[in-house]
Amino acid sequence: MKFKNQQAEIKDAKLIFNQAWKNIEDHYGKENIHLPREFIFLMGAPGSGKGTHTPSILRARGITNPPISVSQLLQTPECKELINQGQMISDRYVIELLLHAMLGCADPTVGVLVDGFPRTDVQVECLKLLYDRMTELRREFWTTDRRDQYPRPVFRICVLYVDEEISVQRQLARGRMIRKHNYEVKKTGQGLLWDERVTDFDETLIRERYSIFKAHYGSLLKLSKMFPFHLINATGSINEVLRIILKEFEYQSSLELDSDTYDSISHIPLANSIGIHARQDLISRLEHYQDTEPVMLRKAIQFIDEQVIPQIHRHSISGHTNIRSENPLLGNEHFANIVMDVLSERGYHVSFDRRLHHVPVRVDLKTGKIELDTHHIYLLTVEYPKHYIRPLEQKFN
């Protein structure tokens, strides 16, 4: 597989993700995309015990796929060549590498643990876009024989935290243990050598690693707004921390619908996504009115000029105007829609309601029958940013 690196880093998460996903679909074909049913995204401060707890997390969640380490993914010859050329590894490059690794899982019917992702604001946004894309795929193939190939996305977030001094001491202790072990292996010729990392021996480098973790803390806060989770205090014993991790996963599961309920309602669009294409649709409708119904559009604009805007000016401080009218033009639903579209294009939030108002006009004294005159009352509710006027005593203080 080949990756297309960009010389200039793009920071638009949607562009980055869409390009990476397009490359994935071009490489595998949409019909061959089969992502794991559960993702555990494991992050944490240096020395917080990610490597220690990974095997226990995998056993507890029944995950047989090997974990995906983002730092290991970046050890490929292509990545090293880019680094040697003085180029940054772009977020899109990382996203695409990760997607390839996810699709390479031996058993997609179980989950996978991802170590070290996301780290940046863009990667956090891309994680949410991946969740949305998996939801779209499941919805697209729900009524086909491929629906089991596109599982409901289940994302678990695990962030381990220790303070800087504990982080430093743990890494230095790990470095001493590794050197002692390797000394015995070399001395006796028995056993395997363990990898020695420079960051386990140099306190300055250790503190630099911790400062990088702190620099990404803001991204974790953004992530928690998309996928609620708690930071896990990893200063306790291994068993204590593992118990907290598994309890955190239970908490995250409690926030989700069961699968049957989720699948029943997931076709209904989310409120925060419903407006994505609304502006484009609005413009198309207004252009259509201008091209095919210019007279009706002019009448709608005249109605707004004469009956709506004066009321808006009168109530401009409140940011809210109710306009009652008996204008028969509003009895035409299409005319009312044009009025609302024009106002919406200008930034107003509009709702429309029709009501019948019955007024007694005469009474038959012999029969007692009351004759009613029915009026059609139309109500436009218009909302817009209110204007705040400071009191004089505040203005001159």
The DSSP code sequence of 315-367 is TTTTTEEEEEE--GGGGSHHHHHHHHHHHHHTT-EEEEEEEEEEEEEEE-TTT
Rounded Cα gap, residues 226 and 248, in angstroms: 16
Name the residue among 6, 41, 49 with its Cα closest to residue 240: 49
Tokens of 282: 């609005």
> For 278-395, which CATH class?
alpha beta
Is the predicted pLDDT of residue 257 greater than 80, yes or no?
A: no
Cα gap 225→223, rounded to integer Å: 5
Whether residue 46 has a cis bond before it, omega within 30° of 0: no
pLDDT at 163 over 70: yes
Which DSSP state fits 29?
-
For 330-366, write each residue's pLDDT tens digit. 999 999 999 999 999 999 999 999 988 777 878 877 8
CA–CA separation, 73 and 3 (whole Å): 13
In one-letter notation, the amino acid at residue 379 is L
Q: 11-15, 122-126, 292-296: lowest mean pLDDT where? A: 11-15
Q: CATH 3.30.110 spans which residues of the chain?
A: 278-395
| β-bridge pairing 231-233 and 320-325 | unpaired
Tell me the β-bridge partners of 374.
358
User: Per residue in 192-239, pLDDT tens?
Assistant: 888 887 777 888 888 888 888 888 888 888 898 889 899 999 998 999
User: Boundaries of CATH 3.40.50.300 in the chain?
Assistant: 13-273
DSSP-derived 3-state class of residue 28 = helix
SS3 194: coil
Q: What is the sign, positive or negative, of the torsion defined by CA atoms of 151, 156, 157, 162?
A: negative
| Angle, alpha carbons 247-243-236 (nearest 5°) | 125
Confidence of residue 384 (pLDDT cuts 50, 70, 90): very high
CATH fold for the domain made of 13-273: Rossmann fold (3.40.50)
pTM over 0.75: no
Q: Look at residues 172, 178, 179, 176 and name the one whose alpha carbon lies nearest to residue 202.
A: 172
Write the CA distances from 378 to 18, 275, 327, 330, 352, integer angstroms.
45, 26, 8, 7, 7
pLDDT, one tens digit per residue, over 43-99 is: 988 889 898 999 999 999 999 999 999 988 888 777 777 666 656 678 888 999 999
Average pLDDT score over the chain:
86
